[in-house]
Amino acid sequence: MRADLAASYGEERLPRYTSYPTAPHFSKAIGPDTYGRWLAELRASASASLYLHVPFCREMCWYCGCHTQIVRRDELIAGYQRTLRNEIVQVAETIGRRIKVEHIHFGGGTPTIMMPEAFAELMATMRQKFFVLPSAEVAVEIDPRTLTADMVEAMRLSGVNRASLGVQSFDPVVQRAINRVQSFEQTASVVEQLRHAGIVGINFDLIYGLPHQTVASCLDTVRRSLTLAPDRFSVFGYAHVPEFKKHQRMINEGVLPDGLARHDQACAIANALKEAGYVQIGLDHFARPDDSMAVAFEERTLRRNFQGYTTDKGEVLLGFGASAIGHLPQGYVQNEVQIGAYAQSIAAGRPATAKGYGLTDDDRLRADIIERIMCEFSADLGDICARHGAEAGAMLNSAARLKPLISDGVVRLEGNRLAVAKDSRFLVRSVAAAFDAHLNPAKQLHSRAV
């Protein structure tokens, strides 16, 4: 990373571009009727991914940016699971046939907060209503502090083959400051249990930019994590948005690292993981060279969706649960965020769609450009524009934010081919933003660029 560029661009508030247009641009003009029509219009040959959102945790981590709430009563979770199951059935029946599924992802919150029997029932329902391919990746996000042996067994029997473990930091000072005390021994025990059960795809999630975090503490977390040999790492910068996430007000802003310190932490983590043999993938992922994600990066087939970087080639993402977002060829849909409103809609036999976005031809073109930049640090604008019936020159002329990036050496432009300089890849979101026709820099809706 170049420190001068981190200082110049690092404070910008920019999307992570897990979609384009991004969620703040969704509108209530897209509702249940629209979603129902879009589902019925899906091609018979369409392949899908399924995302299930479980918005419950036992306690709040103060850094959290997810839609979740704290629950003590298991009957609330059981009721939500039944609603999830009903939504799956409703969506499948609206489609009218068992379309094939290549990926299933449980996110949250803490998906493993469900009873093991409830988890198994959801998996059985999905296999009944959709054609889940034998090769499908079935992934679950896990809080190592609450995972039980019974849930591990339910995951094994249900065909789970990938687990993402929230680690964040092993520094006890940082952990206390974010209200997430999780020992290394707890994490190591869960990794051992998962591998013993045959769930061998292991991801670790790390965060930099947390209160009291330093380069030394980041490197210590990486060192300990490497002894457990996960296949992949996701490394995110903490997004401090207390105006949107009120629980983040529990974090003392005075002990948050500044932009340059965040830059140093991100750089140190990346270098340590690459020195350990991991391939850096896009903005924030690292994988072993033989991992399917590293292979997809090498073969230029990597994709990006609401779970981040993915090997998923499906053209449809069906979201289930409160706040879940789906992506269909026609556009995006998002369910009601409030659990009560979501449950009422499903109980009434209608989609819980609260808002969405209908894609235009220009949106699809820009989405392709942004995805290639985010996944490959480059984009052949001539090729992409030609596939969309557009002119590369006109697209470049519309990207006013690109000019200073070229002047500063962040971007190289040879003809119609754009590439992000290797020492500037940490600013890939800034480059992608040059092609975002909806971006409003005056609205602080996103996390910092670094």
Range of the domain at 227: 22-320
Classify burial at 281, counting beta carbons within 10 Å of its beta carbon; exposed 0-12, middle 13-18, buried 19 or more. Answer: buried
14 and 51 both lie in a single domain: no
Q: What is the mean pLDDT of the chain?
A: 94
- In angstroms, the CA 160 to CA 198 distance is 9
> Residue 426's pLDDT band (boundaries 50, 70, 90)?
confident
| pLDDT at residue 260 in the model | 83
154 and 252 both lie in a single domain: yes
Which of these three, 297, 320, 343, is where a domain ends? 320
Question: Taking residues 210-235, what's their average pLDDT?
Answer: 98
**Ranges of H-type helices in 348-412:** 361-376, 381-387, 392-398, 402-407
| pLDDT at residue 173 in the model | 97
Residue 53, helix vs strand vs coil: strand
Number of domain units in the chain: 2
* pLDDT single digits (tens) 229-238: 999 999 999 9
The domain that holds 431 is classified in CATH as: 1.10.10.920
* pLDDT single digits (tens) 323-357: 999 999 999 999 999 999 999 999 999 999 999 99
| pLDDT at residue 398 in the model | 92
167 within some domain: yes
Neighbours of 330 (CB within 10 A): 18
Beta carbons within 8 Å of 196's beta carbon, 6+ residues apart: none
Smallest Cα–Cα separation from 417: which of 382, 375, 374? 382
- What's 133-161 look like in SS3? EEEEEEEEEECCCCCCHHHHHHHHHHCCC
Q: Assess contact for 173 and 140: CB atoms under 8 A.
A: no
* pLDDT single digits (tens) 224-259: 999 999 999 999 999 898 988 999 999 999 999 998
* pLDDT single digits (tens) 279-291: 999 989 999 999 9
- In angstroms, the CA 168 to CA 444 distance is 25
365 and 441 both lie in a single domain: yes
Smallest Cα–Cα separation from 180: which of 148, 140, 227, 144? 144
395 and 434 both lie in a single domain: yes
331 within some domain: no
Q: What is the pTM of this model?
A: 0.93
Judge whether residue 9 has pLDDT over 90.
no
12 and 66 both lie in a single domain: no
| pLDDT at residue 273 in the model | 98
274 and 422 both lie in a single domain: no
